[in-house]
């Protein structure tokens, strides 16, 4: 592509009051309105003084800006251009929205958490957002709802950020703790969130977060028939998360730290060659003749009781599943002519309460490795509204996190209505194809028409979303 040379000259003017740059916000915010976002906020959020007036409209403005790609308070100005005032009422200035966020206390953030949970439930009731209950392959006989827990560091700059500190990653920032839910045929959505100071440990607040997440999951339409399976990495292996999940009726699958007790359990299995089963792993090849995988990765399991040194009510019986792969350093030394006297393995173990008759060793290992899907959610959020935490006030940033999650789930819900490959696409892709589309506004006889570009490649998806969210009201007799 090159610039056309046919015109003798070009000019540019910002003079058209009937253009909008994000026409996809029209069906997107219509979907939010059908889920009663504004009413939910007005019912539950009670920010004092004039800063908290019309909270429902202000939250809707913030969510709309994030859906369109805003990652700072100043970016909310993108809602106040061209013809946006003709298709949306009461769009607030960025300074007003910033004052609103800075008026939050921790209690108001918790109120906003309650709004986000109920908003997600209403979105799931109106769209195929959460799909069907997951049926685990390779021997699984029951349906599971996969709930993943993880934290991530959001880098911040400047000395005025309350709560900022250096965490486990060595990056100065704030720590966001998230819980997502994943089912068959649907991309993950966020069911719980919490912002913490940057220097805190990963498991801090995980017990409360898991309790809130499981409560939300049980309220989602279509998931009542599945049992939640909470997955997490070794940072969350502790009584807080595990006991909270088990007491709430969920199963757990949590990576364990290789302490003395776990190493002893691994040593009891390592010498038994018959205990190990080859699995599909990196560089594995499937042998059609034998029906087996040719792989260097193997799994085994042994009965295990978590927290055995604690009182009886805090002990959790289950299985310790162990995966072993050859040590890569050993392979490098062998290539250099430094052979070892015996094989050296690297071991990875996780604890699970799933019964062996529900998922065998291979199936439960494959399911646990699927926990990495939450990393895609972390990256997705950081590519949109969580690229920055825009305020110096900690509670304002905590509210910003909740709003970012609401915008994330709303974008996902809109994409499921659009259908096709967009249902599981990144939110950045959804914004590019469905939301950030230029349109010219024309009105006639109290009817507004959006004129969009001819030949837009994703026109069928956009029209499908628009038709399902902007239907005229039903006729009344």
**C-alpha closest to that of 143 among 32, 39, 223:** 223
d(CA 111, CA 44): 6
Q: In this predicted model, what pLDDT tens digit does every residue of 38-73 receive, in sequence order?
A: 999 999 999 999 999 999 999 999 999 999 999 999
- SS3 assignment, position 228: strand
pLDDT at 243: 95
Q: In this predicted model, what pLDDT tens digit does every residue of 271-315 receive, in sequence order?
A: 777 788 888 777 656 556 556 555 678 889 999 999 998 999 999
Full pLDDT tens readout for the chain, 477 residues: 877 777 877 888 898 899 999 999 999 999 999 999 999 999 999 999 999 999 999 999 999 999 999 999 999 999 999 999 999 988 999 999 999 999 999 999 999 999 999 999 999 999 999 877 654 433 343 578 999 999 999 999 888 899 999 988 889 999 999 999 998 778 999 999 999 999 999 999 999 999 999 999 999 987 877 889 999 999 999 999 999 999 999 999 999 998 999 999 888 887 777 788 888 777 656 556 556 555 678 889 999 999 998 999 999 999 999 988 877 655 555 555 555 444 577 888 999 999 999 999 999 999 999 999 999 999 999 999 999 899 999 999 999 999 999 999 999 999 999 988 999 999 999 999 999 999 999 988 888 899 999 999 999 999 999 999 986 555 544
Q: Phi, psi at residue 132, to the nearest 5°?
A: -110, 165
**C-alpha closest to that of 195 among 179, 169, 176:** 176
- In the chain, what is the straight-line distance between the N-terminal and C-terminal CA atoms, in Å? 57
251-255 vs 227-232, strand pairing mode: parallel
Instruction: Give the H/E segment covering residue 233.
Output: none
Instruction: Please list, in sequence order, all residues whose beta carbon lies within 8 angstroms of the beta carbon of residue 225, skipping any fewer than 6 positions away.
Output: 133, 143
CA torsion, ordered 303, 239, 168, 260, to nearest 10 deg: -40
Distances (CA, A) of 90 to 20, 86, 127: 16, 10, 27
d(CA 255, CA 369): 10
What pTM did the predictor assign? 0.91
Encoded tokens for 333? 């030394």
Counting beta carbons within 10 angstroms of the beta carbon of residue 106, is it exposed (0 to 12), middle (13 to 18) or buried (19 or more)? exposed
Answer for the pair 43, 139: CB distance below 8 angstroms, yes or no: no
Q: What is the number of other CB atoms lying within 10 angstroms of the CB of residue 463?
A: 14
pLDDT at 141: 36
Alpha carbons within 13 A on the beta-carbon side of 175? 21
């Amino acid at each position: 592509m090159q610039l056309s040379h046919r015109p003798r000259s070009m000019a540019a003017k910002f003079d058209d009051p009937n253009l909008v740059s994000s026409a996809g916000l029209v069906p997107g915010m219509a979907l939010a309105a059908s889920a009663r976002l504004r009413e939910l906020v007005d019912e539950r959020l009670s920010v004092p003084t004039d800063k908290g007036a019309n909270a429902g409209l202000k939250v809707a403005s913030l969510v709309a800006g994030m859906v369109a790609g805003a990652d700072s308070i100043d970016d909310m100005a993108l809602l106040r251009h061209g013809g946006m005032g003709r298709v949306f009422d009461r769009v607030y200035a960025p300074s007003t929205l910033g004052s609103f966020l800075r008026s939050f206390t921790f209690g108001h953030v918790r109120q906003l958490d309650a709004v986000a949970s109920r908003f997600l439930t209403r979105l799931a009731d109106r769209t195929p957002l959460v799909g069907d209950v997951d049926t685990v392959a390779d021997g699984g006989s029951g349906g599971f709802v996969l709930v993943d827990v993880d934290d991530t560091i959001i880098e911040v700059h400047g000395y005025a950020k309350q709560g900022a500190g250096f965490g486990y990653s060595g990056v100065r920032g704030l720590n966001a703790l998230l819980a997502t839910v994943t089912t068959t045929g649907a991309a993950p959505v966020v069911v719980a969130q919490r912002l913490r100071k940057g220097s805190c440990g990963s498991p801090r607040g995980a017990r409360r977060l898991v309790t809130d997440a499981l409560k939300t999951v049980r309220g989602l339409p279509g998931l009542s028939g599945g049992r939640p399976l909470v997955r997490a990495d070794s940072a969350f292996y502790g009584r807080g998360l595990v006991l909270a999940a088990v007491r709430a009726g969920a199963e757990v699958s949590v990576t364990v730290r290789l302490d003395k007790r776990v190493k002893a359990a691994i040593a009891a299995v390592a010498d038994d060659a018959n205990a190990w089963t080859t699995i599909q792993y990196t560089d594995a090849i499937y042998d059609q003749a034998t029906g087996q995988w040719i792989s260097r990765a193997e799994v085994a399991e042994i009965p295990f009781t978590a927290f055995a040194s604690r009182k009886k009510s805090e002990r959790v019986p289950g299985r310790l599943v162990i995966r072993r792969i050859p040590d890569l350093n050993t392979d490098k030394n062998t290539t250099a002519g430094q052979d070892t006297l015996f094989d050296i393995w690297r071991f990875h173990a996780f604890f699970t309460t799933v019964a062996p008759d529900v998922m065998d060793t291979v199936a439960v290992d494959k399911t646990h490795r699927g926990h990495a899907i939450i990393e895609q959610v972390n990256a997705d959020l950081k590519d949109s509204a969580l690229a920055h935490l825009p305020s110096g006030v900690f509670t304002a940033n905590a509210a910003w996190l909740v709003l970012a999650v609401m915008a994330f789930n709303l974008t996902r819900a809109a994409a499921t209505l659009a259908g096709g490959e967009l249902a599981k696409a990144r939110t950045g892709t959804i914004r590019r194809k469905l939301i950030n589309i230029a349109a010219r506004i024309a009105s006639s006889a109290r009817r507004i028409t959006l004129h969009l570009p001819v030949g837009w490649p994703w026109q069928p998806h956009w029209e499908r979303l628009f038709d399902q969210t902007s239907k005229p009201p039903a006729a009344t007799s």
